[in-house]
Amino acid sequence: MTTMTENAARYREFKMPDVGEGLTEAEILKWYVKPGDTVTDGQVVCEVETAKAAVELPIPYDGVVQKLHFEEGVTVDVGTAIITVDVAPDSGYAPFAEAAEAAEAASAAPAEPAEDEAPKGRQPVLVGYGVSEASTKRRPRKGVSVPEQAPADALRAVQTELNGQAPAPARPLAKPPVRKLAKDLGIDLATVVPTGPDGIVTREDVHAAAAPVAEPAPVSRETTPAPAAAVQAFDARETRIPVKGVRKATAQAMVGSAFTAPHVTEFVTVDVTRTMKLVEELKSDKDMAGLRVNPLLLIAKALLVAIKRNPDVNASWDEVNQEIVLKHYVNLGIAAATPRGLIVPNIKDAHTKTLPQLAESLGELVSTAREGKTSPAAMSGGTVTITNVGVFGVDTGTPILNPGESAILAVGAIKLQPWVHKGKVKPRQVTTLALSFDHRLVDGELGSKVLADVAAVLEQPKRLITWG
C-alpha cells in the first residue's frame, strides 16, 4: 500500500533558483512545458527574467509534469516551488493532490527539526551559492499564484455554520512569505479565515482580507487582471508601467550610485578625423575581415591605453573595510540599450586583447545583448565603462557611474564641424567626450590625465603604437 509520505517523495518540486549573485526574485516569462509533458534531466522548462537578464531554467530530474505553480508574468521569490514533477510515473497510481497537500502542510506547520536535516546557511543554487535563509529578508512576490481548488466563500460558509464564526487560533498556521505579506499589508493573521489544507493561511486569504481596504469597490477574484506590462484604460490620459526586472535594477543601481559616490564630470572636445580615417582603413584590412570595425572599437582601445598610463583610475571603494582596491585587470563595460532596458555587460580582461580580439568581443557582446541573452556573469565584475550616447545624435552627457566602478566615459556624436587645423579653418570630424569619476578614488589631476590621454589617442591614433 502506497503511503502519503511515499507519494510526497514521489512528487518533486523544482524551486526558483538564485540565477546570479544573490538575486531574490525572478519573473516567469514563458513556460516551455505543460502538465502531462515528459521532461528529462537538463531540459529547459521555462524562461525567467531577473533584475539582470533573461535566463532559461533546466529541470534537474526526469519525470512527468504534474503542476505549474505560477502563470507567465508572475514574479516569484527565489526558493519558491514553481513546478511539480512526478519522478516515478511508472510506479502505479498515487494521488498527486493528496501528496501536495501533505507537502504543503508539512512545510507550513511547526515541527521539530529532523536529525538528518541539512544545516541552515548558504545553499547551492544554479549559479554559485545563495544567501543564508536566516539572514535574508525576501520581498513579497508581485502577482498571484494559481487559485485554490475550493472556493474561499464556500469554506467560510461551512465554518460559520459549524462554529458560528471563523476559527481564530492563537498562532495561525502560515508559511514565512505569507506572514511577511500579512505584515507588509498590515493584516493580523488571527483575523484571517484560512482556506488552505489543515487550516493554513494562504496568500489568497491575506489578499482577500486586505481587499476591502485596498480596493474602492469590490472586485471578484475571478475578474482580477493578471500582471501586465502596462495598464491603460481606453480613454486614459496616463499609462502606468510596473517597475520590475532590468528597469527596476537599473533604477536602484543609479540611485545608489548617484547618492553614494561623489561624481565629478569633465569634458573635452577633440578632432577625431584621423581616427575615422583609420576606421575606414581597418575595414579593408585582412586581419579584421569578418569583424565589426567602428569608432567605438578605437575609443575602447584608447581608453585601455589611458588606463595603462594611469593605472590608479582602475579601482573601487571598499566601504566596509575602508580601503581602496586597485584592479590590475580591466573588465571593460559597454552600456547597451535593449528592449528590456539598459544593461552593462563587460569584456573580461580587455587589457590583454589585441585589436582583432577586442573587435570580436565587442561584436559578441552587442549581438548577445540585442538578443536578450546576456548572462548575469557577463554583467558582473566591471571596472570601467563606456556609454556611446552619440548613436542617439546628442553631443555628450554626464553619465552616472556603474556601481562599484571608478569611471565611465561618455562618447558624443561625431559631427563635421569647422575646426582650426594647421592654422586654417577646415571641416573636421569632431566629438565631445565626458568622463565621470568617483572623487573618493580619483582626484581632479588623475581624472584630467585619463580624459586627456583618451583625447590624445583619438586625435593621433599612432599613439596606440607609441603608448600601447
More confident residue, 232 or 210: 210
* pLDDT bucket at 93, cuts 50 / 70 / 90: low
- Closest Cα partner for 4 from 146, 178, 198, 145? 198
Please give the Cα distance from 380 to 358 (Å, whole number). Answer: 18
What's the chain's length in residues?
468
- Closest Cα partner for 340 from 255, 231, 232, 250? 250
pLDDT of 217 higher than 70: no
Q: Which amino acid is at 393?
A: G
pLDDT digits (tens, 9 = 90+) for 254-292: 777 777 788 999 999 999 999 999 999 999 999 999 999
More confident residue, 107 or 264: 264
More confident residue, 271 or 129: 271
pLDDT of 203 higher than 60: yes
pLDDT of 408 higher than 80: yes
Which segments of 71-202 does DSSP mark as H helices, in order?
96-108, 152-163, 176-185
Catalytic residue among 69, 328, 421, 439: 439
Please give the Cα distance from 131 to 120 (Å, whole number). Answer: 10
More confident residue, 445 or 155: 445
Number of helices and strands in the chain (H, E): 11, 21
Across the chain, mean pLDDT equals 78
Instruction: Give residues with Cβ within 8 angstroms of 386, minimum separation 6.
Output: 296, 299, 300, 303, 332, 333, 334, 335, 408, 409, 410, 411
Instruction: Give residues with Cβ within 8 angstroms of 261, minimum separation 6.
Output: 317, 401, 438, 439, 440
pLDDT of residue 17: 86
Which stretch, 100-109, 115-124, 334-343, has highest mean pLDDT?
Answer: 334-343
Please give the Cα distance from 266 to 260 (Å, whole number). Answer: 19
pLDDT of 133 higher than 70: no
Please give the Cα distance from 468 to 453 (Å, whole number). Answer: 12
pLDDT of residue 174: 74
Range with lowest mean pLDDT among 33-37, 140-144, 283-287, 432-436: 140-144
Please give the Cα distance from 431 to 417 (Å, whole number). Answer: 9
- Whether 439 is catalytic is yes
Place of cell 535593449: 338
Which stretch, 104-113, 205-214, 335-344, has highest mean pLDDT?
Answer: 335-344
Identify whether the C-beta of residue 200 lies closer than 8 Å to the C-beta of residue 105.
yes
* pLDDT bucket at 20, cuts 50 / 70 / 90: low
